[in-house]
Structure 1
């Protein structure tokens, strides 16, 4: 009888360990697919830290965007995104709708006029 109990306990432990290991493997796979993404660099017309905050916040609300970081001195916005959720053209359009140029595409005029004066292009005549 003791041998049967010992055998059942051992079997239960082995099955529990295998189940736990299978759960861990599934979780690891999900994490890997969520963190992988495309990177896009967009040349913008942003000129100050207010522009940086505005662009990064705006892009954070775009579907599929994992991160958006603007380097103010170079005016380059680096966006990491999931290609199955959005595209480079949609991200450029989001930058334009925020009021900034996106590569060779000009900013949305209406959004640009709503920007604070410090965020407007420096070569513009007022």
Structure 2
């Protein structure tokens, strides 16, 4: 009876080193080829930070996105074989923010909360 209980445990222990050895190379391949891009944005608050970082997280090839609110600089770490800085700028625009010299998508900008809109422009209600 003890033998039957020990057999599954022995089988589990004998296979676990092989499983670990097979998954290790995949992790190393992911971290090998990365690039970083920085964009000046029109973001103004912590809600902007959360919105931009979340939006960029869904972009193909993006590994991380961090917005420094005081400087309005978005730093994106990405895989150059999956995306380009131009694609990342477009993603920022489609979220409703300026990206370097490119202005925000108007429809996306209009959907932003008031606190996330540029303070130096005048907005009128068309209601």
Match of 2:108 among 97, 111, 115: 111
Could you give the per-residue CA deviations for residues 42-66 of structure 1, whole angstroms, max 9, x where no partner exists? 1100000000000000000001000
The CA distance in 2 between the partners of 1:39 and 1:32, in whole Å, is: 18
The answer to whether structure 1 residue 56 and structure 2 residue 72 are counterparts is no
Bigger mean CA deviation after superposition, 111-120 or 26-35: 26-35
Match of 1:45 among 42, 55, 63: 42
TM-score after normalising by structure 2:
0.76
The CA distance in 2 between the partners of 1:29 and 1:39, in whole Å, is: 23
Unaligned 5+ residue runs, structure 1? 1-19
User: Which residue of 1 is the match for residue 81 of structure 2?
Assistant: 84
SS in 2 for 1:122: coil
How well do the aligned residues superpose, as a CA RMSD in angstroms? 1.8
Unaligned 5+ residue runs, structure 2? 1-16
User: Which residue of 2 is the match for residue 102 of structure 1?
Assistant: 99
TM-score after normalising by structure 1:
0.77
Structure with larger Rg: 1
The CA distance in 2 between the partners of 1:49 and 1:78, in whole Å, is: 15
List structure 1 segments (4+ residues) > 6 angstroms apart after TM superposition.
none
